[in-house]
Structure formats: C-alpha cells, structure tokens
C-alpha cells in the first residue's frame, strides 16, 4: 500500500523533468494522477508509461497560463477520479538575462508560466479540495526564490513570488484543511537546466560541473525533488503548511 494510496492528484508540467518524476512517484505510491502539460506527445507518453506499470494516469493538454485550460484540467481530474486531493504546481520556464536584456514579452511570459499558473490552478482546485474535506498543494519554487542569482531577473522575481504566494495561501486556506507548501530545488539535471547553458553560451559539461559545486558534491536529479514532493503531499507532513523546503544538496547553506 502506497503512502498516497487512493489520492487524486494533478501535476502540472509533468511531461518531463521534475514534474514527470513527481507524477510517476505519486502514481507508484498509489495516487490517481492527471498529467498536465502543454506538450501532448510527452504528456501522453508519461501517462501511458504509468499505466503500463500498473498505475492510474490520464493526460490533459493544458496551457497553464489560461484560466479556461486550468479550469478544464481541474474539472477533468474531479470527473475522472471523483475529487481532488493533491495539486503540484510545477510548470516553469527560465530566461537567463538581466533586466536590461529581458524584453517585456519575455518578462510577461516567465511571470505567466511561473506565477500566474500557480494562481489559476489553485483558484480552480481549492473549491473542489475544500468540498472534499481538504488537500495538499505543493508549489515548485527555487533556491533563487530565496536569494538572488545572476542574469536571471525574471526567474528570480517569479520564484520569489511563488514562495510568498505559498505562505499567503497557507494562511487563507488552512481553515479548509488545505495545506500549502513550497519545494525549492537547487540545480537539477533537467532539459531546462541544460537549456540554461545554451542561453548563457556555455558548454553543457562545464555548466553541469559548476552546478555540482555544493556540499554534497553532485547535481540534483528529478527523483531527489520528487521525493520531497511526495513527503509534502502525504499524511507524513500532516502538520506542515506554509513551509519552504530547500532541496539543493546544501547549496543555499
């Protein structure tokens, strides 16, 4: 019996990276998972893989920056699974540029994907969770939501917003038995991290080697972050809300 056995979950950005690892781990631990991603090919593949391993997963294509798509995803999870217990707001993008280099369009896009998506998915999910007696929301922040970073102005701003939005939601919705927490990963070996190297004109090998320069002397894996997500969505964290869990191999320390 899994630690989230029978729970109904949505994971955004779950076509790849941390989102995929989180969705797969939740499913392996007994949850019914709605895979939400803008990439239908990758999302369908993740859902199919979960089903092949005996789990229960459904895919829904969703642009998490639009209210209609977010509402449709929440309704699908509720209709297919009979309710909603877990929401992992994981979709995210990064633009490596300072404020002078960043265009207004890039700024707006980063804020929409990284922050507005959390607002929209939560806005539509919370009433269903509350009606079912409560739930757990986990937002993906970043170490750069707690400290600054070079040439990542829009990303740092967006992740700082996610961290404090998490606290505000925890205060507002605790009386409805909805716990809201934030996981702040350090550098994690995903396609997004490798794309950062290209944006900065660095080689992937040197960029990843620099990313491993932390007390535990390695880069993170999606599974490292997924295990933290599992803890915060399970009953093991039943009295944890409004918290920011840094998972970065000691880098922020």
Q: What are the beta bridge partners of residue 247?
A: 185
- Residue 155 annotated among the catalytic residues of the structure: yes
pLDDT at residue 117 in the model: 98
The answer to whether the beta carbons of residues 72 and 121 sit under 8 Å apart is no
The answer to whether the beta carbons of residues 188 and 221 sit under 8 Å apart is yes
Which of the residues 129, 155, 190, 207 is marked catalytic? 155
208, 229, 221, 230: which is closest to 248 by C-alpha? 221
151, 158, 13: which is closest to 89 by C-alpha? 13
Tens digits of residue pLDDT in 25-64: 999 999 999 999 999 999 999 999 999 999 999 999 999 9
Average pLDDT, the chain: 97
Q: What element of type H or E holds 222?
A: helix 222-233
Band (1; pLDDT cuts 50, 70, 90) = confident
Band (150; pLDDT cuts 50, 70, 90) = very high
The answer to whether the beta carbons of residues 189 and 222 sit under 8 Å apart is yes
55, 214, 29: which is closest to 46 by C-alpha? 55
Q: What are the beta bridge partners of residue 178?
A: 135
The answer to whether the beta carbons of residues 113 and 92 sit under 8 Å apart is yes
The answer on pLDDT for 164 being more than 90 is yes
d(CA 165, CA 123): 12
What's phi and psi for 237, nearest 5 deg?
-110, 35
d(CA 245, CA 232): 9
242, 198, 243, 251: which is closest to 220 by C-alpha? 251
d(CA 61, CA 133): 27
Band (80; pLDDT cuts 50, 70, 90) = very high
Domains of the chain: residue spans and CATH: 8-186+221-243 (3.40.50.720)
**Is pLDDT larger for residue 129 or for residue 195?**
129
Q: What are the beta bridge partners of residue 135?
A: 178
The answer to whether the beta carbons of residues 142 and 155 sit under 8 Å apart is yes
225, 249, 244, 227: which is closest to 236 by C-alpha? 227
First to last CA, the chain: 36
pLDDT at residue 145 in the model: 98
pTM: 0.98
d(CA 218, CA 39): 29
């Amino acid at each position: 019996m899994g630690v989230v056995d029978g729970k109904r979950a949505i994971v955004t950005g779950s076509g790849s990276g941390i989102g995929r690892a989180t969705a797969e781990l939740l499913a392996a631990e007994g949850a019914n998972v709605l895979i939400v991603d803008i990439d239908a090919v990758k999302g369908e593949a993740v859902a199919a893989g979960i089903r092949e391993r005996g789990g229960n997963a459904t895919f829904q294509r969703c642009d998490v920056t639009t209210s209609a798509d977010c509402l449709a995803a929440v309704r699908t999870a509720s209709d297919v699974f009979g309710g909603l217990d877990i929401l992992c707001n994981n979709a995210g993008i990064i633009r490596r540029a300072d404020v002078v280099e960043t265009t207004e369009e890039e700024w707006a896009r980063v804020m929409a994907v990284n922050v507005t998506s959390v607002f929209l998915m939560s806005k539509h999910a919370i009433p269903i969770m509350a009606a079912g007696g409560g739930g757990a929301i986990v937002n993906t922040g970043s170490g750069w939501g707690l400290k600054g970073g070079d040439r990542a102005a829009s990303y740092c701003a967006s992740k700082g917003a996610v961290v404090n939005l998490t606290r505000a939601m925890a205060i507002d919705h605790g009386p409805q038995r909805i716990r809201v927490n934030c996981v702040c990963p350090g550098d994690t070996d995903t396609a997004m991290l490798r794309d950062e190297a290209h944006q900065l004109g660095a080689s992937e090998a040197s960029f990843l080697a620099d990313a491993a320069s932390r007390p535990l002397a390695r880069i993170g894996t999606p599974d490292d972050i997924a295990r933290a997500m599992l803890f915060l969505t399970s009953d093991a964290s039943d009295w944890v809300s409004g918290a920011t869990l840094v998972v970065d191999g000691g880098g922020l320390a």
